[in-house]
């Protein structure tokens, strides 16, 4: 019994020592993270390259790409992580989808754009995806 308690205590201390303490930019609370911002951006960039391979290319419509990027960049300036270099991409897919990757990569599909009634609806979708990045959901998922 005593040995099991020591093993559990050692495991708890080891887990507590994992990662570094960072301040969550949204909650302001100190958390442990297995990934600093530089690593998060690098992981996001690597995953972005994979997304572009898997999902095909960005939609070949420079005006639409610029429209989505403009909305995203205006939101990014107001976000809790305005320091990131945000990338907004319209994927050439009929699926209705949007998602984000760590480090500031946000995607919407042309299928989603077809359903958005106006820029306010699109802004809400983009802001939702940005919230996953600002609250570091992808980083937390890797920690688990």
pLDDT reported for residue 37: 84
> Is 102's pLDDT higher than 90?
yes
Question: Does 25 have pLDDT greater than 80?
Answer: no
Which of the 8 DSSP states describes residue 58? B
Give the pLDDT band of residue 61 (cuts 50, 70, 90).
very high
Residues whose CB is less than 8 angstroms from the CB of residue 41 and which lie 6 or more positions away in sequence, other chains included: 84, 85, 102, 103, 104
Q: If you average pLDDT over every residue of the chain, what do you get?
A: 82
C-alpha distances out from residue 134 to 1, 23, 76, Å: 44, 12, 10
User: Does pTM top 0.85 for this prediction?
Assistant: no
Helix H segments across 18-135?
Answer: 37-54, 62-77, 110-115, 119-134
Give the pLDDT mean for 100-124.
Answer: 97
């Amino acid at each position: 019994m005593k040995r099991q308690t020591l093993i559990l205590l050692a495991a708890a201390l080891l887990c507590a020592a994992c990662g570094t303490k960072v301040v969550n930019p949204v909650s302001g609370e100190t958390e442990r993270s297995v990934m600093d911002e530089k690593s998060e951006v690098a992981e996001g960039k690597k995953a972005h390259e994979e997304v572009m391979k898997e999902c095909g290319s960005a939609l070949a419509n420079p005006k639409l790409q610029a429209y989505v990027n403009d909305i995203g960049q205006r939101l990014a300036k107001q976000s809790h992580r305005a320091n990131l270099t945000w990338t907004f991409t319209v994927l050439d897919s009929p699926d209705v989808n949007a998602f984000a990757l760590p480090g500031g990569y946000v995607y919407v599909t042309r299928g989603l754009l077809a359903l958005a009634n106006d820029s306010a609806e699109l802004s809400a979708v983009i802001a939702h995806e940005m919230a996953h990045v600002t609250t570091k959901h992808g980083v937390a998922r890797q920690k688990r």
